């Protein structure tokens, strides 16, 4: 299934502490500086996506997590540094070749007017097709399979615009699955969904990760969802990685306070044993704030 790995080029080691060397993993960012026009979002950022992981990127708003995902999926060209896919700079690879290795579910997607579920999912086959190979039996099989996996096979002939938000998100995920990529990137896949559909989508992601061995990278807003589903967590703030690792190892009250500026307790999730972040009560938080201010005032005087 996975294409043969090419020998990785020898990397230059630098003194920069942030630099990690990619020798095994398929997707990584190497000292990238990310900017929109003149606005710099992240500088000298390096990150490794462990193979076969369900990596979740978390962080406060505007910390650069979606930007990082855009860079990893070659939608945003780093102004410095590079993103490596299978040891090659992703920007210099043929577009369709990348699209057969790495899929992306972006936040902004438009379902064309009057398109059916099966047609939309079928469009995920684009990188496998050409002018003379427009619709093979393989395409048909994969589309059917993707719809079954995401539970939308029943909706195949329905119009996408008459589906509910949760169903629609499943259809878009089915489209990304039909791309048959070993790596799948999801940009806030649960936004705008109500709680049962959020869990639904996350369960589906976990299934894709565990049962099919796909490497998943997702940006999530909800820290508790992230801690529950991720195998590898990346906490980002102001364009820098504050911590990364298994959620059980890194999610602590100190980390949450540092990254999100929120006082909280971290307890064991009674269902899964993963870390569960419980924000401190409002009074407790204001109390400490006044305490701190008092301390600061005493120190100043």
Query: Which positions lie near another protein, rule CB under 8 A?
Result: 73-75, 95-100, 103-120, 122-124, 126-127, 129, 131-137, 139-140, 144, 147, 153-154, 156-157, 176, 179
Residue 46 or 67: the one with the smaller Cβ distance to another protein is 67
- State in angstroms the smallest separation of the CB of 203 from another protein: 22
Structure tokens at 23: 């020798």
- State in angstroms the smallest separation of the CB of 185 from another protein: 8
- State in angstroms the smallest separation of the CB of 87 from another protein: 20
Partners of 241 in beta bridges: 236
Residue 89 or 250: the one with the smaller Cβ distance to another protein is 89
CA angle 79, 85, 86 (to 5 degrees): 145
- State in angstroms the smallest separation of the CB of 178 from another protein: 10
Residue 125 or 228: the one with the smaller Cβ distance to another protein is 125
Residue 50 or 126: the one with the smaller Cβ distance to another protein is 126
* Exposed/middle/buried for residue 298 (C-beta within 10 Å: 0-12, 13-18, 19+): exposed
Residue 46 or 55: the one with the smaller Cβ distance to another protein is 55
- State in angstroms the smallest separation of the CB of 142 from another protein: 13
Q: Judge contact between 55 and 229, C-beta under 8 A.
A: no
Phi/psi at 130 (5° precision): -150, 180
Assign 3-class secondary structure to 264-294.
EEEEECCCCCCEEEEECCHHHHHHHHHHHHH
């Amino acid at each position: 299934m996975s294409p043969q790995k090419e020998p990785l080029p020898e990397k230059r080691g630098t003194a920069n502490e942030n630099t990690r060397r990619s020798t095994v993993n398929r997707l990584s960012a190497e000292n990238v500086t990310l900017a929109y026009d003149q606005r710099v979002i992240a500088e000298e950022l390096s990150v490794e996506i462990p193979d076969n992981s369900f990596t979740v990127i978390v962080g406060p708003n505007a910390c650069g997590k979606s930007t990082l995902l855009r860079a990893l999926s070659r939608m945003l060209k780093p102004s410095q540094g590079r993103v490596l896919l299978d040891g090659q700079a992703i920007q210099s690879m043929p577009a369709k070749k990348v699209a057969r290795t790495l899929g992306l579910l972006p936040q902004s997607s438009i379902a064309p007017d009057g398109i059916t579920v099966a047609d939309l999912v079928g469009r995920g086959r684009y990188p496998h097709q050409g002018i003379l190979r427009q619709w093979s039996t393989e395409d048909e099989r994969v589309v059917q399979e993707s719809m079954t996996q995401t539970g939308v096979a029943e909706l195949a002939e329905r119009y996408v615009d008459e589906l509910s938000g949760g169903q629609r998100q499943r259809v878009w995920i089915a489209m990304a699955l039909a791309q048959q990529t070993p790596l799948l990137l999801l940009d806030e896949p649960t936004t705008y969904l109500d709680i049962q559909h959020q869990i639904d989508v996350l369960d589906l992601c976990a299934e894709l990760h565990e049962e099919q061995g796909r490497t998943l990278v997702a940006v999530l807003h909800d820290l508790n969802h992230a801690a529950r589903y991720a195998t590898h967590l990346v906490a980002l703030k102001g364009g820098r990685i504050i911590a990364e690792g298994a959620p059980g190892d890194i999610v602590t009250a100190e980390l949450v306070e540092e990254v999100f500026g929120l006082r909280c307790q971290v307890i064991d999730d009674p269902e899964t044993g993963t870390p569960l972040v419980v924000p401190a009560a409002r009074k407790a938080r204001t109390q400490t704030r006044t305490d701190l201010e008092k301390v600061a005032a005493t120190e100043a005087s």
